[in-house]
Structure 1
Amino acid sequence: MRSFEELVAEGAAVPTDGWDFSWFEGRASEARPSWRYAESLAGRLARAEAALDVQTGGGEVLDFALGRAAPAVPARTVATEGWPPNLARATALLQPRGVTVVGAPEDAPLPFPDASFDLVSSRHPVRPDWAEIVRVLRPGGTYFAQHVGPASVFELTEFFLGPRPEEARRGRDPEGERAAAEAAGLEVVELRAERLRMEFHDIAAVVHFLRKVVWIVPDFTVERYASRLRELDERIRAEGSFTAHSTRHLFDARRAERG
């Protein structure tokens, strides 16, 4: 294995735009949820007339799903994204498929009229705005999404930050999100949750992951956490990997036909 310094420099240099995780091949792994979100989304898109993908990232998941759904794709498909590098990437990827990509901050109202879409989807939204989701859905329309669950990858978070308070562990609780969705006017048809094994096989993978998935260690920089990175590098070399667990839940919810 290469030196600590070489690996850290590599992990710090890899671009972080988009949600393509192919760089991690052979260096880190994560089990995937049994419901196969992108493939399931393809089936929903094949039956939709007007679809909106919220916080699409670099557009990779929507692009895959539309490819699987073709030729039966929605007559109108729109995606939103707020981070400029991802917005540019999603536009380049999705416009050739006929998708309209709209720049929209994640904490702002959705820039669409009421009842615009019969399908709203999102993979790993930062924070679902249930009122806005209900507003842009047509009566009888569906919200279909995969969310990050509570205490996801907390083994890595706590390695760098120490034990987290109990309220942090309870954030993104699927039952809490169910209650919020129902209060906004959605009927939750299905809610499934899974805890999934992750393994990091070198420190470059850790560095790149923490730069890319910024909420795991919000103040992460190589310089700030140099000593902990070196300690983790030694542990990975001795044990072969660092194990963590992601949490995910699948939302399938429906707006009432009336109201």
Structure 2
Amino acid sequence: MKQDELFMTYVNGANQPFQGWDFSWITGTGRLHSEPLSWSYGSMAIAQIQKATSLLDMGTGGGEFLSMLRPLPAKTSATEGYLPNIPVAKERLEPLGVQVLQVEDDDRLPFEDGSFELILNKHESFSAKEVRRLIAERGIFLTQQVGGEDCGQLNEKLGLPLPTDYTEWKLETAVRQLEENGFRILCSKEEYPTQRFYDVGALIYYLRAIPWQAPDFDVERQMEALYWIHQEMQSKGYLAIRQHRFLILAEAI
């Protein structure tokens, strides 16, 4: 197959539906791979769940991750801000006894003060003040966040501006916000793992799934840049991009 034909095969093949927060169409086939972190958010979440009688999962997506942390506390709720994910999450989580609620404002969530002993948050924005309101005394907040430096090289290669809303979002900022709102930090880590894309179709699929990374991304407009990326992938075998992740385990005081 000629280079141009292969490129268009990848481009056209990227037109696949994305549902919930499930990247298995590209991760399950080995087309996207991320370097492991030194921690496991999932293992830490399970350890905390065993000690909690009430749980809130913020930004549950389609409920994929939360559903794999069973058994869950009898009182478990989940929030999600992206409307198409709501029916997916409800179908997956409500049979497990989980209340799923759509939310629009991080500063005011639909729960009473001190409602939860444990709040989980994986890659979801949050208000430290609101999390403190919701959490019980000595309750635990566990979050893994995507930092503001995440995948900036993608934007550079595509000739697109970097998103500016989260440029300063990093471990130091999040720790300060939590400490200022009544939390004691038990554990905190920040790392920059490498993510590899092995074909340009996987890259297109990924960018469409996370439109906030490059809001102006359009396949037709970026076709030339995508082709240069394709050639780099064919020559090197992959495209390596630096991610930005940090983890915080905090206790309400």
Q: TM-score, normalised by structure 2?
A: 0.91
State the 1:107 CA deviation.
Answer: 4.0
Offset of 1:244 from its aligned partner?
Answer: 0.7
Choose between structure 1 and 2: higher helix proportion. 1
Post-superposition Cα deviations, 1:134-157, rounded to whole Å, max 9, x if no partner, equal: 000011111111111231112212
Question: What residue is the counterpart of 2:187 in the other structure?
Answer: 190
The number of residues matched between the two structures is 248
Instruction: Give secondary structure in 1 for the equivalent of 2:221.
Output: coil
Residue identity in the other structure for 1:239: K
Distance (whole Å) between structure 1 residues aligned to residue 100 and residue 94 of structure 2: 7
Residue in 2 that maps onto 1:33:
37
Amino acid at match of 2:18: T
- Equivalent residue for 2:142, pick from 129, 141, 144: 144
Specify the alignment match of 1:19 in structure 2.
21
- Any unmatched runs of 5+ in structure 2? none
Question: What does residue range 46-65 of structure 1 map to in structure 2 within 5 Å?
Answer: 46-65=50-69
Matches within 5 A, 1:13-162: 13-24=15-26, 25-66=29-70, 70=71, 73-107=72-106, 109-125=108-124, 127-161=125-159
The corresponding residue for 1:4 is 7
Question: Is 1:201 aligned to residue 201 of structure 2?
Answer: no
Cα deviation, residue 190, structure 1: 1.0
The Cα RMSD (Å) is 1.9
Q: Which runs of 5+ in 1 are unaligned?
A: none
Please report the TM-score for the alignment, with normalisation by the length of structure 1: 0.89
CA distance in 2, matches of 1:162, 1:43: 41
SS of the counterpart of 1:105? coil
The list of structure 1 runs, each at least 4 consecutive aligned residues, that deviate by more than 4 angstroms after superposition, is 162-165, 167-170
Q: Is the 8 A contact 1:38 1:64 kept in 2?
A: no
1:18-43 CA-to-partner distances (Å, cap 9, x unmatched) read 22221113211012322111122112
Query: Does the 8 Å contact 1:17/1:58 carry over to 2?
Result: yes
Show CA shifts across 1:190-233 (max 9, x none): 11111111111101000001011222212212122122112211
Amino acid at match of 1:52: L
Whole-angstrom CA distance in 2 between matches of 1:75 and 1:162? 46
Q: Distance in 2 between matches of 1:78 and 1:9?
A: 39
Distance across 2 between alignment mates of 1:103 and 1:150: 25
CA 133–88 in structure 1, closer or farther in 2 if over 3 Å, else same: same
